[in-house]
Amino acid sequence: MARALDVTRIRARVAELLAEYGIPSAAIGVLRDGEITDFAVGVKSISTREAATTGTVYQCGSVSKTWTALAFMQLVNEGKVALDEPVRTYLPDFRVADPDVSAKVTPRHLLNHTNGIEESYGDPGEDDDVYERMVENIAGARQVHPLGHTHGYSAALGYAILARIMEVIDGKRWDDIMKDRLFDPLGLTSTSSRREHVDQDRAATGYLIRSLEEGPIPSPLGHLPRSFGPGGNVNTTARELLTMAYVFLNEGMAPNGTRIVSPGIIREMTESRVPIPDPYMFGPEWALGLIVCDWHGQTVYAHDGSAVSQSARLRILPESNIAVSMLANAGPRDSFYRKVFNEILADLGAVTIPDLPEPDPALALDLSRYEGSYERPGTRYEVAAERGRLHLTFTLNPMEAQLLNKPEQLDYELLPISETHFLMPSDDPLEDPQTVAIYDFKNGVAQYLHINCRVNPRVNEEDATMHVMAVSTISDNDGFWDSLKNAYGRLPRGARWTLAVASTDGTKAVNVIIHDSIDGVRSFFEDQAGAYATTEYFEADAANAVGLPTK
C-alpha cells in the first residue's frame, strides 16, 4: 500500500530549513499517481509579511527550457521540423563564425547543449523581435568547443534559436506560441512567459542572501532580460509546474485529457541523451530539455532554474510515478533542495537523492596536467598547484562581486575524486560543495573545465599580454556602467578585465584590460561604451601604473 505524505510534518520541517537558510518562502508540489498535493511556507514579501500560498507565482528560471522543449517537440510531432535537419533548413540566413557549424548545427544540438556556440549575442533589446535579433547578432560568434564535441550548457542562446525556429514555422511570437501550444491546452491560469502578464499581487519578491546576519535583501534585478525568455522567463506555481511534469509521466497526455505530444515524442525527449562531463552535480546525461539523473540505479528526469533571486527545482521519478516541484524566492541552494526533497521522498518510500562522492586520498595525480586558465565570455577560472594541492581561483565580474558582497577573486581547493573529477568544498557557509570536471587531455594537458554544467575551454594566452588602461570621461554614468556590465560578458577570448573603478563624483573611470593590443581594446571598448564616454587608451605596466598585482 502506498505511503501517504505527512504534509503537517513536512511543512514544519520546511519552515525550519527556511529559517536555517534565510530563505523567505518556498512553494512545494508533489504529484503522485496523478494526484497533486501542494503547500507553501514562509512569506512572499518580507516588507509586507504577506504569506506565500499555493497560488503564489514564482520565476522558474531555466526550468523554462523544459517548457520550451516540450512546445518545440510538438512541431516535431507534427512533422513541421526535424531534430537532425540543419537549423538553416528553417532559418536560411543563420550563420555563426564557423562556416561548418553554420551549415551543420541542428535543433538536437541546441536542445541537448552540444552546439558549442559562444553566448555572444549582444543586446537584442526587449521588443517582440528579440529572438530574431539574437540570431542576427551571432553571425560572428565563435565556438567554445567544436560542434557536438562535449556538453556545455547554454543559458539563453540555444533555446532562443529554437524559439526563432518556432516563430518562423508558426508565424507567431514565441510568447503567443507557448500560450497557444502549452499553457492553454494544459488548462493553466497562472503560468506565463512575460513578467508583464504576471499578477503582481500574486508574484513572489526575489531576495539575495549575502549573509545570514544581514538576512534577505530585495534583489536590485527583478527579472531576467527578455533574451532569456525561452530559457529562463516562464513564471508559474508549484502545482502548474507539476501539470507539465504530468505529461512526461503519462506518455504525452495532460491531466485534463488533452494530448500534448505522442508517446513516441516523450520517449525521444527522455531517451536521446549525451554524456555530461561532470556526472555528479546534476546527473550523468542530458536529454532533450531534461537532465537525466541516476539515483541509486533509478532513472530520474530533472531541471533546475535560477532567475536572479528566485529558484526552481523539478524532479520526475517515472519508476515511482512521482514528480516533485519546489519554487523559492531566494537561492539556489543545493543542500536546501536536497534536504527538502529527501524528506518528501523518504516519506513516500521513494528513492532519495545520492550524496556527492567523497574525494579519494589515495589518488596520486600529475597536477601540472590540470594547471592553466579556462574561460568563456564573462567567466574565468585559474587552476594552479600549490604545495601538492590543486586550487581553483574564480574571478568575479567586479559589479557582481559588489552586488554579492564578495571579493573579486574566490579561491577553492580541488579534492580529487578521479583522474578527471574533483570535489570543490567552500569555506563560505552560504556555498554548498560542488563537483568539477577537468578533462579531454591533449598534449598532456586538460582542454576543458566543466562546472555548474558550463564548459570553459583552456585559454591560449600567448597573444593576450598587453595591459591597456582606458581612462574615460563619462557623459552618461548609468549608460556607461550598464554597458560595461554587459561588455564584461563579451570579452574577446583570452582577454582579461582586471580593474574597473570610478571617481567619487562619477565623471571619470579607469579600466584595465589585458589583450593583444591597444587597438584591440579600443575597438572593443568603443563598441560597448563609446556612446557614453570619451576615452583615452594607454599601454600600462599594470603593477606599477595602477597598483595591480603582477599575477
- Of 297, 296, 295, nearest to 324 by C-alpha is 295
Which regions of 387-542 does DSSP assign to beta strands (E)? 389-395, 409-416, 421-424, 434-442, 445-451, 454-457, 466-474, 496-502, 508-515, 533-539
Cβ count near 351 (within 10 Å): 18
Annotated active-site residue 62? The verdict is yes
Q: Which of 330, 433, 428 is nearest to 19 (CA)?
A: 330
DSSP element (H, E) containing 347: helix 334-347
301, β-bridge pairs = 292, 316
Q: Residue 278: name the closest of 357, 374, 342 by CA.
A: 357
User: Of 25, 45, 62, 102, which is the active-site residue?
Assistant: 62
Report in angstroms the alpha-carbon separations of 40 from 175, 260, 329, 343, 400. 28, 28, 12, 15, 31
Residues 104, 170: Cα–Cα separation, whole Å: 23
Question: From CA 211, how far away is CA 215, in angstroms rounded?
Answer: 6
In one-letter notation, the amino acid at residue 110 is L
Q: How far is CA 488 from CA 379, 485, 494, 511, 519, in A?
A: 9, 5, 13, 11, 18
Which element (helix H / strand E) includes 362? none
Q: In the structure grid, which three cell numbers stand for residue 412, read together?
A: 577553492
DSSP string covering 220-285, please?
S--S--GGGHHHH--EE-HHHHHHHHHHHHTTTB-TTS-B-S-HHHHHHHHH--EE-SSTTTT-SE
CB 25 within 8 A of CB 309: no
Helices and strands (DSSP H and E) totals, the chain: 15, 25
The Cα–Cα gap between 160 and 179 comes to 17
3-state secondary structure of 20: helix
Catalytic residues: 62
